[in-house]
Chains A and B, each alone.
Chain A
């Protein structure tokens, strides 16, 4: 199985900050990686697919990059609504594993 390791697990930041979350895969997954945002009590919401393609309707402050085994999600300027938990997911092969999550909190 492909393991995904996100770092950091917790991140404290302020409105207006630029933040980066990293997702490392245990083997090469090319660009078969998606990023999701989840708010408490809600279903996950797709942000980025194919490692770097912004899902329709997602603010351009979100961006993704990477290929192979190392990927990043960047939020260029944090807004109050961005404080949530973020997950990466690989869809290169079954089982479709998720990272353990990164909880982004207000400083």
Chain B
């Protein structure tokens, strides 16, 4: 079964750090570009980061640039998000999502179940 499973969420104080992980299974992880998307409580979806399959291309939303770092380990079929200098507004459910591209069009076809990050003192 094609699956993504996030872990690492929890309660952290403002200014603190947290590392999220996303374990992939059921597909050739190294062949796919990956993303992190978050959703604040009661709000919409926000794309926050992208990493290409070979890690050559990395992109961030302005809201997390300079504070968050995306990475991957293709040998371990895993995606990561290192989150530093956390703020209350980073409180959200964080999803990892696989990007699939077909005939020049791309989409997020597989999503994890999400992991909740709460930033509060």
Contacts and interface: CB of A to CB of B under 8 A. Distances in A.
A94 B112 contact: no
Contacts of A49: 102, 105-107, 109
16 contacts: A43-B95, A43-B114, A44-B45, A44-B95, A46-B108, A49-B105, A49-B109, A50-B103, A87-B44, A89-B108, A95-B59, A95-B61, A96-B50, A98-B45, A99-B44, A101-B45
A46 B99 CA distance: 11
Interface of A: 31-32, 34, 36, 38, 42-46, 49-51, 53, 55, 87, 89, 91, 94-101
Interface in B22-70: 35, 37, 44-47, 50, 59, 61-62
Interface of B: 35, 37, 44-47, 50, 59, 61-62, 95, 99, 102-103, 105-109, 111-114
A98 B44 CA distance: 8
A35 to B, nearest CB: 9
